[in-house]
Structure 1
Amino acid sequence: MARFGDALATGADLVSAAERAVLAAMRPLEGPADLICFWISGADPEEVVLAGERVMALADGAVTIGCTSGGVIGGGRGVEDQGAVSVWAARMPSVTITPFRLDTVPDGDHLAVVGMHEPSPVDQAALLLVDPYEFPTQAFVERSTEALDGLPFVGGLASGAQGPESVRLFADGEVADCGAVGLLLGGSGIVGTMVSQGCRPVGPAMAVTKSDGNMILELAGAPAYERLENLINALPPEEQELAAQGLHIGIAMDEYADRHERGDFLVRSVVAADPELGAITIGDMVEVGQTVRFQVRDRDTADADLRERLRMFDEDTGGRSAAALLFSCNGRGSTLFSSADHDVRMVRQALGIDAVSGFFASGEIGPVAGRNHLHGFTACLLAFES
């Protein structure tokens, strides 16, 4: 039977915090841990590395994996922009754990990713932690669905308090300052994955009738900028304000659905609008014939979407979750909600579990409609059963 524990410790002495967190997380396991995941937030990169090494030294033979971030999640709370260590420990005899380390090598005019293992028939999901500054994260994640036979990826992009040079990844006693680390997870103990994109649609769904890469030139036969302008003018004042703060667009995942509502889209940012060209540019490639719908995000919408996603996930999986890893955007937390604790508290309450740990990511990885994607402003979850 699986056992799980998690703990979060803060303090000026990060090594001491690491010791307290890992020992507290391992206490409920009733035996040695099989897997320890940990996340470290701190201002001094050297001290952060020492804290990570201390966690791995105390792991007592468990597979270890972790990274740096601007904030960590654990112990029922979120902590941002201060020294903290969160540790999640699991005793999972029915789960196979296969670590991997990804690097890049030049291949013509682009980078090729090396180090990925071929999934075995029992593998159910993969955990992926990435240094985003030199690793082709989006390309790798987008291609992983076909390359790895539909294996779902969940994880996030690490960050450091002093920028790119302070990002660190940890895996099985080693510290890396580039690339990615991950785990293939198999067996009967994996419940599944969930992604909450936190948006709601506004205006009608429209077909893309002319496009060029990530530029939409026409929507439903009219210039895309004109469609957008008409939509904004028709919105009530409060939604116009939300659109002004950051408009998004959803790309429908099922072209054959009779209706396209919240949760039916892969959400991407609208990054530019060109009135002279009549076009809008979005954060992904789009093809003629695809259905899109503009989206807005606010605190209430993000709250409602996470609540609904968790409810549906719990129902679909038969309430089997006993623990989870959570990767929330660093644009959520106290920036979006009244508290950095929002997402972890809701996960614990909705799924009826205690051991929930993770970090505030610079980008989140999770599947939508059976395909792996790199996201922003989302909460991504990987759940385990007892």
Structure 2
Amino acid sequence: MADFGDGLAQGPDLLAAAETAVAAATAPLHGRRPDLLGVFVSHPDPDTAASAGQRAMEVAGATTAFGCRASGVIGDGRGVEDTPAVSVWAATLPDVRVTPFRLQAARSEGGISVGGMPVPADDDAVAVLLADPFTFPAQGFVEQSDTALGGLPLIGGLATAPVGSSALGPARPAPGGARLFLDGEVHERGAIGVLLGGNVAVRTLVSQGCRPIGPTMTVTAAGGSELHALAGMPAYRKLEEILRDLSETDRRLALQGLHLGVAIDEYADSHGRGDFLIRGVVGADEDTGTVTVGDVVEVGRTVRFHVRDATTAGEDLDALMAAGGDDGPVGGALLFTCTGRGRIMFGEPDSVHGGASHDVRAVRRGLAPRVAGFFADGEIGPVVSKNHLHGFTASVLAFE
């Protein structure tokens, strides 16, 4: 029988925090050695985070351990952002095959090649992937993974954290800040992860937390990430028309952060909430009539604008957790949630939404009691059986 545990500890002595978090996470395992350990560390200094990650792996003595440095971590029913902390997730997984891997990217004549990915076995169920986006082509790897890995689901996140501090405000993630943990070693480049196969029952869930506004449209002219025309009308003018017809509340949300949903299934009879892959709108130019999106959108694709707020994101995650729970009991879960879904979206800890702890509380309430993970700068997870790199989402790997 599988057992799961999670722990989170804070404090100026990060090595002691690592030991405390490991003790809390392994206590429910009844003295058994963890088959799989997740270690997630938040600290402004990358090397201090690396030392804490190594200490946690050493103390736990797990068969396989993986994890990363991040700007915030999740465990023990709460999320902690921009504060020194260690989160640990531990599991005994009888008869489950756990295969660790490390990926590195290299330039070749054909572009960029990725090496190190083991060939999935027929009974592999899922791969967890943690990547440094500054040294690993995560977007391209995820896009090609359905073909390259034979449809194997990928879930995880981009592991970034600030380097140093700034007098002008919070430091932003930058090259050199990544620390990836794998079986006692710390890596500063590439990606790491684990393949899970054999007698393993898992579910992957992705909550995008957006609500559609305006009509569904066809892209009638585009170039790269620029939309030139929507439904036969200049894209900027069409957007103006949609905004004009919105309620005051939705117009305010759109002006605060507008997104474009690209239909996942072009052949569906209708497209509503949850049927789109969400991408950010990064610009709109009245002079050229274009709208710029954070991805390439081809002519002929079905799209619809979306807005996002705390209430919508909360309702979407709660509904997803309830639906996932209907499939049977879950013992533990790994959670990879966006850095934009903590205090930025849900407010301070004592707010009505629960701040950085919102998502982990929702997963514990609706799905699994033992949850840990980290705040990512991009979340990986399958939607409609295809792997995608997302933003502003919560990706969950649940173990039955």
TM over 0.5: yes
> What is the RMSD of the two structures over their aligned residues, measured on CA atoms?
1.3
Aligned partner of 2:315 in structure 1 is: 304
Distance 1:61 1:330 in 2: 28
Aligned partner of 1:108 in structure 2 is: 109
Distance 1:45 1:75 in 2: 23
Partner SS for 2:157? strand
Aligned partner of 2:12 in structure 1 is: 12
Aligned partner of 1:28 in structure 2 is: 28
Q: How far off is 1:237 after superposition?
A: 1.5
Partner SS for 1:341? helix
Distance 1:281 1:166 in 2: 29
Aligned pair partner of 1:350 in 362, 366, 372: 366
Q: Percent identity?
A: 53
Residue identity matched to 1:344: V
Q: How far off is 1:61 after superposition?
A: 4.2
Aligned partner of 1:77 in structure 2 is: 78
Answer whether contact 1:15 1:51 (CA < 8 A) is retained: yes
Distance 1:181 1:227 in 2: 43
Range with bigger deviation, 21-30 or 81-90: 21-30
Distance 2:234 2:47 in 1: 53
Residues 1:207 and 2:218 are matched in the alignment:
yes
Aligned pair partner of 1:222 in 222, 229, 233: 233
Distance 1:78 1:97 in 2: 27
Residues 1:156 and 2:157 are matched in the alignment:
yes
Residue identity matched to 1:5: G
TM-score (norm 2): 0.93
Q: How far off is 1:370 after superposition?
A: 1.2
Aligned pair partner of 1:190 in 201, 210, 224: 201
Distance 1:109 1:121 in 2: 29
Partner SS for 1:116? coil
Answer whether contact 1:2 1:93 (CA < 8 A) is retained: yes
Answer whether contact 2:159 2:178 (CA < 8 A) is retained: yes
Answer whether contact 1:125 1:190 (CA < 8 A) is retained: no
Answer whether contact 2:46 2:69 (CA < 8 A) is retained: no
Show the 5 A alignment for 1:41-80. Answer: 41-80=42-81
Distance 1:160 1:274 in 2: 32
Q: Deviations over 1:249-283 (max 9, x none)?
A: 10111112221110000000111212232221212
TM-score (norm 1): 0.96
Range with bigger deviation, 204-213 or 357-366: 204-213
Unaligned runs of 5+ in 1: none
Q: How far off is 1:234 after superposition?
A: 1.1
Partner SS for 1:57? helix
Distance 1:277 1:45 in 2: 44
Q: How far off is 1:103 after superposition?
A: 0.5
Distance 1:372 1:320 in 2: 25
Distance 1:185 1:52 in 2: 22
Q: Deviations over 1:102-128 (max 9, x none)?
A: 001111373211111111001111100
Partner SS for 1:86? strand
Q: How far off is 1:187 after superposition?
A: 2.6
Q: Deviations over 1:257-313 (max 9, x none)?
A: 221110000000111212232221212222222110000001111111111121222
Q: Following superposition, which runs of at least 4 residues in structure 1 exceed 4 angstroms of deviation?
A: none
Residues 1:271 and 2:273 are matched in the alignment:
no
> Structure 1 304/61 Cα, relative in aligned 2: closer, same or farther at 3 Å?
closer
Answer whether contact 1:42 1:161 (CA < 8 A) is retained: no
Partner SS for 1:166? coil
Residue identity matched to 1:330: T
Distance 1:219 1:297 in 2: 21
Residue identity matched to 2:203: G
Residue identity matched to 2:72: G
Aligned partner of 1:379 in structure 2 is: 394
Range with bigger deviation, 292-301 or 250-259: 250-259
Distance 1:61 1:5 in 2: 13
Answer whether contact 1:195 1:379 (CA < 8 A) is retained: yes
Distance 1:67 1:61 in 2: 16
Distance 1:109 1:246 in 2: 37
> Structure 1 130/93 Cα, relative in aligned 2: closer, same or farther at 3 Å?
same
Aligned partner of 1:333 in structure 2 is: 342
Residues 1:140 and 2:112 are matched in the alignment:
no
Residue identity matched to 1:327: F
Distance 1:126 1:281 in 2: 33
Aligned partner of 1:86 in structure 2 is: 87
Aligned partner of 2:250 in structure 1 is: 239
Distance 1:345 1:220 in 2: 41
Residues 1:362 and 2:377 are matched in the alignment:
yes
Distance 1:61 1:300 in 2: 39
Aligned residues: 382
